[in-house]
Amino acid sequence: MPDEHQPRPATPAGVLLTVPGPRPARVAAQTVAVLAVLSVPAALAVDVVAAAVALLVLGGVTVARVLLLPATLQALLGAALVAAGWASAVGLYETVRWVDVPAHLFVNGLIAATLGIVILRGGLLADPATRAGRAGIALTTASVGVTLGVLWEIAEWAGYTYVDESVYVAYGDTIGDLTAGGVGSVVAGLLVARWAR
């Protein structure tokens, strides 16, 4: 794995400030992290729900940082989360229905890649130096991503049923979301397997 020989930071502040990877990717990851922080007060100006979403996004960006994910993945995941959060805050999902598809494709795929790397680093997968090991990494990453997509759709249904009927739930929307998330997860699995060589 490309970043396995980089020293781990010794302090909590070091963990939050360290981004492994090449300089352009580190700068991108740091920029996205600053945007995630600034999104919280900006979203509060929209409403409390938007601020709660912005806090969730900031939490996701922080977890990516604490996990010492590669800088490119941190930047892409953070950007996707910030974009998805703001699309929700400004009502873009309701006014432009197709925005939901790339959101599921990218967010689901990038979260799958994150979890695939975490599982791989935890020593729970076969040796990535072998073809069978790489196939296992790809399959596990894709499976975790698809499972997360299903759980997300169940959460949407529960939100519609028990919390607020304004949560958009329809058969076609659910199938489209699952398909987009599944495609993103499969691509993530292939990329994580390649990265792990």
Instruction: Name the residue ranges covered by the structural domains of the chain.
Output: 1-90, 92-196
- Quickly count: other Cβ atoms within 10 Å of residue 156's Cβ: 16
SS3 content of the chain, % helix, strand, coil (to 5): 80, 0, 20
The pLDDT score that the predictor gives to residue 4 is: 46
The pLDDT score that the predictor gives to residue 94 is: 85
CA angle 144/191/27 to nearest 5° reads 105
- Which residue stretches of the chain have pLDDT < 70? 1-8, 15
The pLDDT score that the predictor gives to residue 6 is: 58
CA torsion sign, 145 to 150 to 151 to 157?
positive
Round to whole Å and give the CA distance between 83 and 58. 12
- Quickly count: other Cβ atoms within 10 Å of residue 154's Cβ: 11
Tokens of residue 121, six digits: 């680093």
Q: What is the DSSP letter of 8?
A: P
The pLDDT score that the predictor gives to residue 169 is: 83
- Quickly count: other Cβ atoms within 10 Å of residue 189's Cβ: 27
The pLDDT score that the predictor gives to residue 5 is: 47
The pLDDT score that the predictor gives to residue 7 is: 64
Contact 108, 145 (CB under 8 A): yes
pTM: 0.88
Measured in whole angstroms, how far is the alpha carbon of residue 127 from the centre of its chain?
A: 25
The pLDDT score that the predictor gives to residue 167 is: 73
The pLDDT score that the predictor gives to residue 164 is: 77
The pLDDT score that the predictor gives to residue 2 is: 47
